[in-house]
Structures are given as structure tokens and as C-alpha cells.
């Protein structure tokens, strides 16, 4: 499989992920009815559904009612394509690539649902838990013992943060969806990379939140979803986590 084939297939996957993002948070079926404009409900034709290019050609507007289309659609498609190309470059066309493709899809969908609705749907977590257990049980991603330790570490660490926040500052320090998300990631990555994911998510979330505050895009006390930071940290750990750990051990020795 060439990089071009991966790019094309992943663009199509990104288009499907857009359907999932829109319909899961609306409680609708992801298979029926066919794709349609959310403003005028006109069924979209093949030329309306070409990832990225249809958006560019139509100047970000519906062909039929001329209502604006959310830029989220091409962003998700491009992000999906770039992510799969990076994963293919790292893993090659292997069973690991196939298994982690499931995780990557879940991370992309949950990220954008969390950004738009501040929720992480349980159905996505359940799919991740089932597939994560399956792939670890047959040792495609990691061993089953390592996977279960990863789940306990991911789920337990954020659960402790949430409980301490409730106890000490009487506020919700961590959402239930975030707790379950990191636990699910742990099944795919094992305990070492899950620990790295936790650390990276804290740093990435802190830096990004500070950036938003400095630009006055958010005010102190405003809600900022943590799920996207966990997802990004999990993806970084998946691709480069072992190298990061080795580098850290080298500079600290």
C-alpha cells in the first residue's frame, strides 16, 4: 500500500467520522438516512461528498440552499488523513496498524464531539473497551496483563483527581468521560504509555489553556474540554512514546 492509497482511504474515513460526529451527538443512526444538508435536508450527491475538495469547490456552502457548511468537515478529513499517514509511516501495513486504526478513529470522533458538546459518548468508550480487550488478548497491541494495568492506571489516576477535587475544592476536577477515555486508551497502550499519555495531556492541556487565556479567547473559570488533550497525548504516545521514554531515561541517567 502506498502513501497515496493511505491518504485517499483515510480521507474517506474522515468523511465517515464527520457523519459519526454529527449523528452520534444528535442521537441519530450513522447509516440512515443518506448524507444530507443539515439546513435544507437535501440529499447530497456524489460530487457533494468528495472529502475536502467539495468544500473548497463549493466555497464552504451547500450547493442547494447556499447555507454555510461548518469548517469542521474539511478539518476532520485532513486531520484524519495526516494522522493515518503518520501511523502508517511508523507501523507499516501491519495488524498493529489495523488495531490502532480503531483507536485513532475513536479518538478523532470523541475529540470533536467533546469540543462541540462537552461530552464523550459512552457508546464510543464501549467500542474502545471491547476492541482494546480483544486486540490485547491476541497480543496485537500489547499483552492482556499490560492492557489491564494500563486500564487501571488510566481510569484510576483520573478518578483520584476527580475525587480529590470534589473533596478539597468542591468542584468537578475531571469529567466522567475523560476518566473512561483514558482507561480505554490504557487497554490499547499498556501502563507505561498510558502514564506518558497522562503526563503529556496535563502539559498539553496546561499550555493550550494558558494560550487561550493570554489571547482572551477564554476567561478564568471557563470550561475547557480535557478529552482532546487526552486524545492528542494518546496519539503522540502511540507513535513516539517508546522513543520519548528512552530519551527521558537517557538524559536522566
pLDDT of residue 173: 63
pLDDT band at 49 (very low <50, low <70, confident <90, very high): confident
pLDDT of residue 125: 97
How many whole angstroms separate alpha carbon 191 and alpha carbon 203? 19
Q: Say what the alpha-carbon torsion angle 109, 198, 186, 167 is, to the nearest 10 degrees.
A: -100
What is the three-class DSSP state of 43?
strand
> How large is the average pLDDT for residues 27-42?
78
> How large is the average pLDDT for residues 89-106?
96
Q: Give the bridge partners for 68, in sequence order.
A: 61
Of the two residues 91 and 217, the one the predictor is more confident about is 91
How many whole angstroms separate alpha carbon 170 and alpha carbon 223? 16
Query: What ranges in the chain are assigned the alpha helix state H?
Result: 3-24, 53-57, 72-91, 95-117, 122-137, 144-168, 176-214, 227-252
Q: Is the pLDDT of residue 148 over 70?
A: yes
Q: Is the pLDDT of residue 230 over 70?
A: yes
Q: Is the pLDDT of residue 74 over 80?
A: yes
What's the pLDDT tens digit per position in 150-181?
Answer: 999 999 999 998 888 778 776 666 788 999 99
Q: Does the predicted model carry a pTM greater than 0.85? A: yes
Q: Say what the alpha-carbon torsion angle 142, 145, 151, 153 is, to the nearest 10 degrees.
A: -110
What's the pLDDT tens digit per position in 133-146?
Answer: 999 999 999 999 99
Q: Say what the alpha-carbon torsion angle 87, 117, 16, 204 is, to the nearest 10 degrees.
A: -10
Amino acid at each position: 500500500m502506498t502513501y497515496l492509497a493511505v491518504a485517499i482511504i483515510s480521507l474517506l474515513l474522515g468523511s465517515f467520522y464527520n457523519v459519526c460526529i454529527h449523528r452520534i451527538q444528535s442521537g441519530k443512526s450513522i447509516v440512515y438516512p443518506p448524507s444530507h444538508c443539515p439546513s435544507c435536508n437535501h440529499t447530497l450527491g456524489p460530487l457533494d461528498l468528495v472529502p475536502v475538495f467539495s468544500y473548497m469547490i463549493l466555497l464552504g456552502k451547500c450547493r442547494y440552499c447556499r447555507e454555510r457548511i461548518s469548517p469542521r468537515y474539511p478539518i476532520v478529513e485532513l486531520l484524519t488523513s495526516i494522522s493515518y499517514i503518520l501511523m502508517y509511516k511508523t507501523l507499516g501495513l501491519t495488524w498493529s496498524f489495523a488495531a490502532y486504526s480503531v483507536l485513532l478513529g475513536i479518538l478523532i470522533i470523541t475529540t470533536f464531539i467533546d469540543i462541540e458538546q462537552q461530552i464523550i459518548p459512552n457508546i464510543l468508550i464501549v467500542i474502545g473497551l471491547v476492541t482494546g480487550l480483544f486486540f490485547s488478548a491476541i497480543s496485537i497491541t500489547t499483552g492482556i496483563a499490560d492492557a489491564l494495568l494500563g486500564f487501571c492506571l488510566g481510569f484510576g489516576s483520573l478518578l483520584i483527581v476527580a475525587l480529590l477535587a470534589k473533596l478539597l475544592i468542591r468542584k468537578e476536577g475531571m469529567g466522567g468521560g475523560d476518566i473512561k477515555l483514558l482507561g480505554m486508551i490504557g487497554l490499547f497502550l499498556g501502563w507505561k504509555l498510558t502514564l506518558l499519555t497522562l503526563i503529556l495531556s496535563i502539559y498539553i492541556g496546561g499550555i493550550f489553556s494558558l494560550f487561550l487565556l493570554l489571547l482572551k479567547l477564554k476567561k478564568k473559570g471557563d470550561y475547557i474540554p480535557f478529552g482532546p488533550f487526552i486524545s492528542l497525548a494518546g496519539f503522540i504516545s502511540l507513535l513516539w512514546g517508546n522513543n520519548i521514554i528512552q530519551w527521558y531515561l537517557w538524559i536522566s541517567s
